[in-house]
C-alpha cells in the first residue's frame, strides 16, 4: 500500500498547504486521507494538499460503539461499510455544482 511521502503532516503550516502538485489517483488519495491530508484547489491550479490542525481523524482502532449508538443504528436501519464505492464517490463529488470561488470538490485527472 502506498504511503504519503510529500510532507510531514505534523509540520503542516497553519494557513498554507502542506504540499503542491501530484496526482489525484486512487492510491495517492488513499495515502493522503490515511495521513489526514486532503486535496483542495481551484481549476487550473496545481493540486494543493491540506492538513489543518485540528483535523478530525477517526482511527478504527479508537472507535467505540456505545450501546446507545447501537440502539439508534438498529432503529434507523443504518449500515456501515468501508471502501465499497470509492470510484463512485469520487465521480459524484466531482459532479456537485459549486460556486467557482470554492474550487472543485474533486476533478478527473
Q: What are the extents of the domains in the chain?
A: 9-97
Confidence tier at 50 by pLDDT (50, 70, 90): very high
Q: What's the pTM?
A: 0.53
Question: Is residue 106 a contact partner of residue 24, using CB atoms and an 8 Å limit?
Answer: yes
Q: Please provide the average confidence, as pLDDT, over all residues in the chain.
A: 81
Sequence-separated (6 or more) residues with CB below 8 Å from residue 12: 18, 37, 50, 51, 52, 53
53-105 per-position pLDDT tens digit: 776 667 888 888 899 988 888 886 777 777 788 888 878 877 777 665 555 55
Confidence (pLDDT) at 36: 85
The pLDDT of 15-30, averaged and rounded, is 90
CB atoms within 10 A of CB 94: 13
Q: Does domain 9-97 have CATH number 1.10.287.70?
A: no
What pLDDT score was predicted for residue 107? Answer: 54
Alpha helices in 1-109 (DSSP H): 26-34, 67-76, 86-95
Amino acid at each position: 500500500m502506498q504511503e504519503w511521502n510529500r510532507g510531514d503532516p505534523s509540520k503542516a503550516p497553519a494557513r498554507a498547504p502542506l504540499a503542491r502538485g501530484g496526482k489525484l489517483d486512487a492510491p495517492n488519495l488513499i495515502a493522503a486521507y490515511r495521513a489526514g491530508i486532503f486535496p483542495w484547489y481551484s481549476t487550473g491550479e496545481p493540486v494543493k494538499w491540506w492538513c489543518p490542525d485540528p483535523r478530525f481523524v477517526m482511527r478504527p482502532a479508537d472507535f467505540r460503539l456505545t450501546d446507545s449508538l447501537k440502539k439508534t443504528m438498529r432503529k434507523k436501519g443504518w449500515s456501515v461499510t468501508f471502501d465499497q464505492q470509492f470510484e463512485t464517490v469520487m465521480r459524484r463529488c466531482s459532479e456537485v455544482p459549486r460556486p467557482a470561488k470554492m474550487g472543485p470538490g474533486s476533478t478527473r485527472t
